[in-house]
Amino acid sequence: MSRIFAFKAADTGRTDLPNEDLVTSAAFLPRHVKEALAAGLASLVVLFLLAWASPAHASSRIKDIVDFEGVRDNMLVGYGLVVGLNGTGDSLADGHFTKQSLQAMLNRLGVKPTAAGLDSNNVAAVMVTATLAPFSDKGTRVDVTVSSLGDASSLMGGTLLVTPLLGADGNVYAVSQGQVAVGGFTAGGDGATVTKGVPTSARIANGGIVEREIDFSMGGMESVKLSLRNADFTTARRIAQAVNAFLGTPAAVPTDPSTVKVQVPSDYTGKVVEMITDIEQLRIEPDQIARVIIDEQSGIIVMGENVRISTVAVAQGNLTIRITETPQVSQPGPFSQTGTTTTVARTDVAVNQDQGSQLAVLQDGVTLQQFVNGLNALGIGPRDMITILQAVKAAGALQAEIQVM
Write out pLDDT tens, residues 92-151. Answer: 877 688 888 988 899 888 888 877 777 788 999 999 999 999 889 999 999 999 999 988
* Residue 119: CA count within 13 A, CB half-sphere: 4
Q: Strands 193-196 and 347-353, how do they pair? A: unpaired
Could you tell me the maximum CA-CA distance found in the chain, to the nearest angstrom? 126
Q: Strands 252-256 and 259-263, how do they pair? A: antiparallel
CA angle (280 as vertex; 278, 282 as ends), nearest 5: 80
pLDDT (0 to 100) of residue 135: 87
pLDDT band at 298 (very low <50, low <70, confident <90, very high): confident
What average pLDDT is seen over the chain? 79
| Cα–Cα distance, 145 to 202 (Å, whole number) | 6
Amino acid at 381: G
- Element holding 376 (H helix, E strand): helix 368-377
- In this prediction, residues 70-74 reach a mean pLDDT of 87
| Cα–Cα distance, 317 to 378 (Å, whole number) | 10
The 10s digit of each residue's pLDDT in 196-216 is 788 999 999 999 999 998 888
Please indicate whether residue 304 or residue 39 has the higher confidence score (pLDDT): 304
pLDDT (0 to 100) of residue 363: 63
pLDDT (0 to 100) of residue 388: 80
Range list of H helices, 62-147: 97-108
**The pLDDT of residue 13 is above 60:** no
Lowest mean pLDDT segment, chosen from 195-199, 232-236, 334-338, 392-396:
334-338
pLDDT band at 29 (very low <50, low <70, confident <90, very high): low
pLDDT (0 to 100) of residue 356: 52
Answer yes or no: are the C-beta atoms of 155 and 182 closer than 8 Å. yes
**The pLDDT of residue 58 is above 80:** no
- Return the closest-CA partner of residue 303 out of 373, 362, 238: 373
| Cα–Cα distance, 359 to 388 (Å, whole number) | 13
CA angle (267 as vertex; 264, 271 as ends), nearest 5: 65
User: How would DSSP label each residue in 233-244?
Assistant: HHHHHHHHHHHH
The answer for residues whose C-beta is within 8 angstroms of residue 180's C-beta and 6 or more apart is 82, 146, 155, 158, 159, 160, 202, 203, 204
pLDDT (0 to 100) of residue 352: 61
User: How would DSSP label each residue in 186-198?
Assistant: EEE-SS-EEEES-
Q: How large is the C-alpha radius of gyration of the chain?
A: 37
How many CB atoms are located within 10 Å of the residue 49 CB?
10
pLDDT band at 257 (very low <50, low <70, confident <90, very high): very high
- Return the closest-CA partner of residue 231 out of 194, 258, 263, 256: 258
The 10s digit of each residue's pLDDT in 351-383 is 565 655 555 665 666 666 676 776 677 667 777
Please indicate whether residue 281 or residue 332 has the higher confidence score (pLDDT): 281
| Cα–Cα distance, 340 to 319 (Å, whole number) | 41
| Cα–Cα distance, 146 to 181 (Å, whole number) | 9
Name the residue ranges covered by the structural domains of the chain. Answer: 2-53, 74-210, 223-284, 291-404
**The pLDDT of residue 226 is above 80:** yes
The answer for residues whose C-beta is within 8 angstroms of residue 283's C-beta and 6 or more apart is 55, 59, 60, 61, 62, 242
pTM tops 0.75, yes or no: no
The percent helix, strand, coil of the chain (3-state, each to 5) is 25, 30, 40
| Cα–Cα distance, 290 to 305 (Å, whole number) | 7
pLDDT (0 to 100) of residue 25: 43
Please indicate whether residue 54 or residue 250 has the higher confidence score (pLDDT): 250
Q: Following CA atoms 246, 252, 254, 255 in sequence, which dihedral angle do they give, to the nearest 10 degrees?
A: -170
